[in-house]
Amino acid sequence: MNTVIENETYSNLLSLLKIENYTPSPAAATLLSTNARYIKDLKINVSNVLNNSQTLNKKEALLLAYSIAVNEKFPLLRESLATLATEAGATQEELAEVVSITSLMNVNNVFYRFRHFLEKDFYNNQPAGIKMSVMVNPVLGKELFELISLVVSSVNGCEMCVKSHEAKLIGTGTTENKIFEAVKLGAVIKGLITILAA
């Protein structure tokens, strides 16, 4: 495969994400300057998680991807995914809730990692004192709220949070297949950002 074909594949990836006027990051430029087969893998992986899920509908997939773009503070992808999610039926209230959930998980991920790392009774027995009203009657519904919480917590590496949100999902009837696909989506979008933003 030659560099011209790889560049076309990369252009197709950007088109899939509705990203325009993109100046390649140093990481992207490195791939584009060689016969980097990973560009094709990346495009296939992104397309599969956003468009070919057996368990997530299009809107759910795009909102999960949006949460990772918000979490990773990457405006270009955040804006394009917000547009795509809106086209798939997401409301401004739902997009705002994704931002709220992502922020709350960043709070909780730091706090509960601290508790888990130290495993001291004093810290574990103190009330968290963290306001979490967004968790009550989420506009996205409980399942998607928990899926976003789980995926963001997975990306942020909070073991306690991952276990807690996975248990809540299983307890309310979400299948392991859906959980698996949601986390895989988060992983792929995190990898995408590593190329586009680095």
Is residue 191 within 8 Å of 49, Cβ to Cβ?
no
Query: In this structure, what DSSP letter does residue 133 have?
Result: G
Is residue 161 among the annotated active site residues? yes
Q: Which residue among the candidates 76, 158, 179, 192 is catalytic per the annotation?
A: 158
Is residue 23 within 8 Å of 54, Cβ to Cβ?
no
Is residue 115 among the annotated active site residues? no
Q: Which alpha helices (H) appear in 52-127, and where do they start and end?
A: 58-71, 75-87, 92-118, 121-125
How far apart CA 9 and CA 47 sit, in angstroms, is: 12
Q: Which residue among the candidates 69, 95, 98, 161 is catalytic per the annotation?
A: 161
Instruction: Write down the residue that tokens 């325009």 correspond to.
Output: 20
Listed in sequence order, the residues at least 6 apart from 92 whose beta carbon sits closer than 8 Å to its beta carbon are 86
Burial of 184 (0-12, 13-18, 19+ CB in 10 A): middle
Catalytically annotated residues:
158, 161
